[in-house]
Amino acid sequence: MKKNQRDEGSCLRCGRCCMWISMVINQEIGPDTAVYLDTHGCRRRGNKLLIPSRCQHLKGDEPPYSCDLHGTVHKPTICDLYPGHKETSFTVFNECGFRKDMPPVPPDEPVFRKHRALRR
């Protein structure tokens, strides 16, 4: 059974996982869509697309943040599971306090800079 990273640290309440929606990119993205995503502040990390979207339930202007759904039945299960196990499909941010023994991941990249360059 895969070790759950939630047993390997603690939440530092940095808020990073509550400020981005992470989606796996499983198809080629055309140049026009790429530029569109870029203008919306999206980031790319490998095969993941990170969409800036602060959760409306995240409270605070700086760390430590809090979740106003924490401890209620309304908190999404996905939030309670984060960051899952080491081979998880979640995007685990470098700042996350549950990253013990996980190798650092490269910083997020601007989404599709090469497409933008192609258009110039």
Residues engaged in binding ligand SF4 (CB under 6 A): 11-18, 55, 57-58, 67, 69, 75-76, 79, 82, 93, 95-98
Q: Which two tokens stand for residue 66?
A: 């809090």
Distance CA 73, CA 85 (A): 23
- In the block, residue with structure tokens 């984060």: 82
Q: How far is the CB of 3 from ligand SF4 (least distance, A)?
A: 16
Q: How far is the CB of 37 from ligand SF4 (least distance, A)?
A: 21
- Residue among 27 and 71 whose Cβ is closer to ligand SF4: 71
- Residue among 97 and 115 whose Cβ is closer to ligand SF4: 97
Q: How far is the CB of 6 from ligand SF4 (least distance, A)?
A: 9
- Residue among 22 and 97 whose Cβ is closer to ligand SF4: 97
